Every structure is written in C-alpha cells, then in structure tokens.
Amino acid sequence: MTLKLYAHPFSSYCQKALIALYENATPFEWKMLSPEHPDVYAEFADLWPLKRFPVLVDGKRTVPEASCIIEYLDLFHPGPVRMVPEDPKTALEVRAMDRFFDNYISTPQQRIVFDAIRPEGQRDARGTAEAREMLDAAYAWLDRHMEGREWAALDRFTLADCGAAPFLFYADWTHRIDAGFANVHAYRRRLLARPSFARAVDEARPYRSFFPLGAPDRD
C-alpha cells in the first residue's frame, strides 16, 4: 500500500520528513495541505486533530511528528541511508542532536515567526526577545559542536541532519546567524548542497512570498 504524506512544501517540519523520503527514494503519495484542497485538510484534521503537519499514513497506521515519521520509515520502509543507528547507545547521539534542532533552533524560530503574524497589540515582545537569545546561545553552542565535523551526529548523514537542514535554513532568515559562526555557516551550506534538501528547497520556492518576515533574496 502506498505511503501518504500530509504536508506542505514550505513547512520546515514537512521538509524534515521529505528529506528522509528523498534520501532513500521512498515512493509516497503527497497529500497537499493547502486552501485549494479543503477535502485533504479535512482528512488530515480527522487523522490528527492536533493539526500539526507532517503526518504519514501507512495503511491503517497514522504517524505524526517528523522525528517519529523518520524513525518509522527507517524501521518499516528502510533504504540504503539509515537515519538512526540500530545500536541504542549510538542512536542516543543522533536523537540528542535531533532534540537540539527541534527544541533550540526550530522552536524559538517559530516563536518569532508566529509572533509576527499576530495582530498588533497581541504581540509578545518579551517572548520574542527570549527566543532571539535562545537562538544566539544555540548558534554559539552549535558552532563549537560542528568544529571538525561534517554532520551533526556520527560521521554520516542522519535523522539529526534532516531537521538541521530546514531549521537552520529558516532560522538564518528569521534571526541571522552571526558571520563569526563559520562552522554553522559551513554546515548550513553543506546541507543546502545535499540533493535531498536542495530538492525540498526548490519545491518550496513558489511559496517564499508567504514568509511572514519577508524572504531574503538568497538561498
């Protein structure tokens, strides 16, 4: 039975899951979440009433959460590029970095963007200032972590890099990564050059005008 992915190309968490699918050329049916397809959105909201995407459907099984989707694909539809090592001790390194990118890059980045789409008077200046501080601390830590490394965990592309790619992409648009963090910039460029992510970036290009802070003319 064909896998189905409920997703939108401009969404960072959808891109995270798409990277894993593209890395292994895993066939799937794209269920496009957009105002032009209200029926698809209704199906998705019924499957996952929390209404956060992406969501993967495999027969009778519904898998929400990008990290879980990637782990699920690794277990049930594996390809040549394994995203999480089988050895649990080695896997912990990968999962720790996956948590870092979700919690300390994506979460503050989304907080700033969601704040920008609120009406004037309902904005949270303190919350966004804290989010910017968090991003600065995360960039500084990551810069030290990436010293001498090619990928975020282990010596190969993993689950951690699937999240790092879209999250650093949008984080730099949202709260510029200081030029002094050369290791982070080099890593972001490596991710952009990875064919699976380059494809996701290209598919999202038509939607750049939707970026609430204004998409920069680069990448």
Ligand X SMILES: N[C@@H](CCC(=O)N[C@@H](CS)C(=O)NCC(=O)O)C(=O)O
Give contact residues for ligand X (rule: CB under 6 A). 11-13, 51-53, 65-67
Q: How far is the CB of 147 from ligand X (least distance, A)?
A: 28
Nearer to ligand X, 98 or 143 (CB): 98
Nearer to ligand X, 66 or 91 (CB): 66
Nearer to ligand X, 18 or 177 (CB): 18
From residue 61, how far is each of 4, 45, 55, 70, 138 by CA, in Å? Answer: 11, 15, 10, 14, 35
From residue 93, how far is each of 99, 150, 167 by CA, in Å? Answer: 10, 15, 19
Both tokens of 96, joined, read 């720790």
Nearer to ligand X, 108 or 185 (CB): 108
Q: How far is the CB of 202 from ligand X (least distance, A)?
A: 18
Q: How far is the CB of 15 from ligand X (least distance, A)?
A: 8
Q: How far is the CB of 66 from ligand X (least distance, A)?
A: 4
Residues 23, 46 contacting (CB under 8 angstroms): no
Nearer to ligand X, 99 or 149 (CB): 99
User: Phi first, then psi: what are they for 44, rounded to 5°?
Assistant: -60, -45
Q: How far is the CB of 217 from ligand X (least distance, A)?
A: 22
Helices and strands in the chain: count of H runs, count of E runs? 9, 4
Helix or strand holding residue 186 (H, E): helix 182-193
User: Phi first, then psi: what are they for 193, rounded to 5°?
Assistant: -85, -10
